[in-house]
C-alpha cells in the first residue's frame, strides 16, 4: 500500500519540486472570464467543474429529472450569455452560478402547479453526510456560522428555512407542512429572516 | 419594521424562494431599478450559499444533445467532475512540494462516457493564478494528439514556455514535449509514442525556461502542472 502510494505520487513530485499547489476554486473566475470571451474549451471545463453541483441543487427543487435536465441546459445557456456581466466584487463565481440555477428552478416550480405534499421528503440533517468533501474544506467555517445562526431559531423555523431554500417549497406548501395558514408562514419567515440577518451580519454582500 | 427591514425581508424571501410567481416577477423587475434591493438580494445569496454547498452534487447529464452542446468545442464531450479526487491528490502534492514557488493550479478532467472510435477528449487547465498566463490543454486519447492553447499568456522576453510530461511507469521523471513557440497560437504535439493508459494518467506541466528551453533537460523555472484524471465509475 505504501509502495503504491509512492508510485502514484512520483510524477507529481517530479514537477512539484517547482510548484506549491493550491485548490481549484479561484480559477472559476478565470474560466468565467474566458467563457465571456466565448472560449468554448473554457466553457466545457466550467461545465465539468460545476454542473454536478448545479444539477444537484436544481433536481432537489424540481424533483423530476426530465424537467431538471431541461432547466440545467437553460442555466448553462444563461451562464454562457451572461458571463461578461459576472462581477467578482459582488461574490464568488459559484455563488453567482448557484443564484442563476436556483432562480431558474424557482421560476419553473412556481409557474407549475405546486408539488404534492406527499412528494416532500423529510428535511435532512445539515451535518456532514450531505456535504461534498471539497466544499467541506473550503466552506466549513461559513457553514458552521450559518448553522449556529440557524440553531438559534426555533426548531420549526429552522426547518422552515431549510425546506424553503433547499426544496423550493412555497408558503402554501410550507403551510400544509406545518398545519398553519400561509399568513402565519409569512410572519414566521419574516421574523426568521430578520433574526438570521442580525445573527450573520448586515454587510455580507 | 424599518424600510431596511422591508427590503431585507423581500430580498430574503426572494432568495429563499417563497415568493409566488407574481411576487417573483415583481421583485425581478424591482431589483433592476432599486440598487438597495439588488444589494440585499446579493447579500442573502452570499449568506445562504453554505446551504447550497451542502446539497449533494448529482452527476449532470451529458450536454451531448442539448443546447449547451452547441457551445462546446467537442460535440462528443461528456464531462465529469473529478475535482474531489483531484483536490485530495493535489493537497498531498502540495504537502510534498518544496516552498520554492507559490503557484496556483487548476486541473479539470473531462472524459467521454461511452466509448467511441474518436473524440475521447480530455481537458486540463494549467494556470498559476487568475492574473497569470494560462494554458488550455486538450488530449485526444485515441489519436494521442495533444493541443496546447495559451490564453492570456503574454510574450516573455528571453524566456520560453516548455511543455513536459511525467509518467508513473517511467519513474515520474518529466520528459520534454518541446517548447510552446508563439503565445496565442495552438501548439500540437503527437503523443503516439506513449501508450494510451500512460497518457491518461500522466502529469502535464509547463515551465518558464531560458530562451530555447531548459539547459538541463529538466524543468528549472517556475512550473505549473495538471493531470488528466480518470474519473471513478
- Predicted confidence at residue B15, as pLDDT, reads 98
Nearest-angstrom CA–CA distance, B90 and B168: 16
Instruction: Confirm whether the ipTM is greater than 0.85.
Output: no
- The Cα of B189 is separated from the nearest Cα of chain A by a number of Å equal to 18
Distance from the B57 Cα atom to the nearest Cα atom in chain A, whole angstroms: 4
Q: Quote the percentage of chain B above a pLDDT of 70.
A: 65
Domain definitions of chain A by residue range: 4-115, 134-204
Tens digits of residue pLDDT in B25-42: 999 999 999 999 999 999
Phi, psi for B149 (deg, rounded to 5): -120, 115
Write the CATH number of the domain with boundaries A134-204.
1.10.10.10
Alpha-carbon distance A154 to nearest alpha carbon in chain B (angstroms): 18
Judging contacts by C-beta atoms under 8 Å, the chain B residues touching residue A164 are 16-18
pLDDT at B131: 59
Q: What mean pLDDT do residues B184-188 have?
A: 78
Closest-CA residue of B relative to A41 is B73
**In this structure, which topology does domain B116-232 adopt according to CATH?**
Immunoglobulin-like (2.60.40)
The answer to whether residues A133 and A27 touch, using CB atoms and an 8 Å cutoff, is no
Q: What is the mean pLDDT of residues B202-228?
A: 81
The ranges of chain A with pLDDT < 70 are 1-26, 112-139, 202-205
Taking CB atoms within 8 Å and a gap of at least 24, the contacts of B91-95 are: B91/A21, B91/A23, B92/A9, B92/A12, B93/A9, B93/A12, B93/A13, B93/A16, B93/A21, B94/A16, B94/A20, B94/A21, B94/A22
User: CB–CB of A21 and B93 under 8 A?
Assistant: yes
Which of B52, B73, B98, B228 is the best mutation test for A, with the most CBs of A within 10 A? B52
pLDDT at B23: 95
pLDDT, position A10: 34
Contacts of B89 in chain A (CB under 8 A): 12
pLDDT tens string B78-89:
333 333 333 444
C-alpha gyration radius of chain B: 23
**Residue appearing with cell numbers 466584487:** A89
Counting one residue from chain A and one from chain B, the pairs whose CB atoms sit within 8 A come to 324
For residue B173, which residues of chain A lie inside 8 Å, CB to CB?
14
Q: Do A31 and B164 touch (CB under 8 A)?
A: no
Nearest to B110 among A44, A57, A197 (CB): A44
Q: What is the pLDDT of residues B92-144, one digit of tens each?
A: 444 333 222 222 222 222 332 233 333 456 777 776 665 566 777 778 777 88
- pLDDT for B55 beyond 70: yes
The mean pLDDT of chain B is 71
Above 80 in pLDDT, residue B182? no
In A122-161, the residues whose Cβ lies within 8 Å of chain B are: 126, 130-135, 137, 139, 142-143, 145-147, 161
Residue B77 with chain A: CB contacts under 8 Å = 44
How many whole angstroms separate alpha carbon B208 and alpha carbon B219?
8
- Output the pLDDT for position A143: 85
Q: Identify the pLDDT of residue B66.
A: 59
Are B21 and A54 a contacting pair at CB < 8 A? no
Q: Are strands B145-151 and B134-140 parallel, antiparallel or unpaired?
A: antiparallel
Helix H or strand E segment including B124:
strand B121-127
Quote the CA–CA distance of B79 and B54 in Å, as a whole number.
22
**Residue B160 scores a pLDDT above 90:** no
Which residues does B45 contact at the CB level (< 8 Å), separation at least 6? A91, A95, A98, A99, B15
Write down the domain spans for chain B.
3-111, 116-232
Beta-carbon separation of A146 and B48 below 8 A: yes
Determine whether domain A4-115 maps to CATH 1.10.1740.10.
yes
Report the pLDDT value the prediction gives residue B121, as an integer from 0 to 100.
64
Measure the CA–CA gap between A142 and A164, rounded to whole angstroms: 20
B97 → closest Cβ in A19, A48, A162 = A19
**A38-67 residues touching B, CB cutoff 8 A:** 39-45, 47-49, 51-57, 59-61
Is the pLDDT confidence value at B215 over 60?
A: yes
pLDDT reported for residue A39 = 81
Quick check: A20 and B99 CB within 8 A?
yes
Which A residues in the span 84-113 are in contact with B, Cβ-Cβ below 8 Å?
90-92, 94-95, 98-99, 102, 106-107, 109-111
CB A185 within 8 A of CB A178: yes
Ranked by mean pLDDT, the top range of A135-149, B43-57, B192-206 is B43-57
Please tell me which of the candidates A16, A164, A205 has its beta carbon nearest to residue B17.
Answer: A164
Q: Any idea which of A2-16, B4-18, B116-130, B204-218 has the lowest mean pLDDT?
A: A2-16
CA A83 to chain centre: 18
Q: Is B157 exposed, middle or buried (0-12, 13-18, 19+ CB in 10 A)?
A: exposed
CA distance A97 to chain B (A): 11
CA R_g for chain A: 20
* pTM recorded for the entire structure: 0.63
Residues A100-128 have pLDDT tens digits of 999 999 999 998 655 544 444 444 333 33
pLDDT for B71: 62
Amino acid at each position: 500500500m505504501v509502495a503504491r502510494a509512492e508510485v502514484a505520487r512520483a510524477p507529481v513530485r517530479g514537477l512539484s519540486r517547482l510548484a506549491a499547489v493550491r485548490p481549484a476554486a479561484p480559477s472559476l473566475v478565470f474560466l468565467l472570464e474566458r467563457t465571456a470571451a466565448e472560449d468554448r474549451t473554457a466553457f466545457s471545463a466550467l461545465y465539468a467543474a460545476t454542473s454536478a453541483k448545479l444539477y444537484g441543487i436544481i433536481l432537489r427543487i424540481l424533483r423530476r429529472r426530465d424537467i431538471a435536465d431541461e432547466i440545467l441546459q437553460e442555466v448553462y445557456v444563461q451562464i454562457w450569455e451572461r458571463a461578461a456581466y459576472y462581477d467578482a466584487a459582488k461574490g464568488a463565481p459559484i455563488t453567482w452560478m448557484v443564484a442563476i440555477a436556483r432562480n431558474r428552478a424557482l421560476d419553473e416550480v412556481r409557474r407549475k402547479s405546486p408539488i404534492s405534499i406527499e412528494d416532500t421528503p423529510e428535511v435532512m440533517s445539515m451535518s456532514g453526510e450531505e456535504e461534498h468533501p471539497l466544499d467541506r474544506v473550503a466552506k466549513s467555517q461559513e457553514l458552521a456560522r450559518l448553522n449556529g445562526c440557524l440553531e438559534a431559531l426555533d426548531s420549526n423555523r429552522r426547518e422552515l428555512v431549510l425546506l424553503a431554500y433547499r426544496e423550493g417549497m412555497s408558503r402554501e406548501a410550507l403551510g400544509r407542512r406545518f398545519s398553519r395558514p400561509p399568513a402565519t408562514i409569512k410572519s414566521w419567515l419574516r421574523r426568521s429572516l430578520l433574526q438570521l440577518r442580525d445573527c450573520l451580519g448586515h454587510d455580507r454582500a | 419594521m424599518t424600510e431596511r427591514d422591508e427590503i431585507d425581508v423581500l430580498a430574503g424571501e426572494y432568495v429563499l424562494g417563497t415568493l409566488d410567481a407574481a411576487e417573483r416577477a415583481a421583485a425581478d423587475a424591482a431589483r433592476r431599478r432599486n440598487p438597495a434591493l439588488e444589494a440585499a438580494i446579493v447579500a442573502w445569496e452570499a449568506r445562504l450559499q453554505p446551504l447550497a454547498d451542502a446539497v449533494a452534487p448529482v452527476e449532470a447529464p451529458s450536454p451531448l444533445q442539448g443546447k449547451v452542446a452547441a457551445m462546446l468545442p467537442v460535440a462528443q464531450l461528456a464531462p465529469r467532475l473529478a475535482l474531489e479526487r483531484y483536490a485530495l491528490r493535489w493537497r498531498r502534492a502540495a504537502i510534498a512540494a518544496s516552498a520554492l514557488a507559490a503557484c496556483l493550479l487548476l486541473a479539470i478532467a473531462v472524459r467521454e462516457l461511452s466509448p467511441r472510435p474518436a473524440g475521447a477528449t480530455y481537458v486540463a487547465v494549467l494556470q498559476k493564478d487568475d492574473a497569470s498566463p494560462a494554458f488550455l490543454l486538450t488530449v485526444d486519447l485515441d489519436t494521442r494528439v495533444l493541443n496546447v492553447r495559451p490564453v492570456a499568456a503574454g510574450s516573455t522576453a528571453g524566456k520560453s514556455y516548455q511543455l513536459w510530461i511525467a509518467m508513473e511507469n517511467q519513474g515520474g521523471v518529466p520528459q520534454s514535449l518541446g517548447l510552446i513557440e508563439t503565445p496565442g497560437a495552438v501548439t500540437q504535439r503527437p503523443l503516439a509514442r506513449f501508450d494510451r493508459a500512460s497518457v491518461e494518467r500522466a502529469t502535464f506541466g509547463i515551465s518558464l525556461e531560458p530562451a530555447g528551453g531548459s539547459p538541463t533537460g529538466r524543468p528549472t523555472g517556475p512550473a505549473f502542472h495538471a493531470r488528466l484524471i480518470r474519473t471513478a465509475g
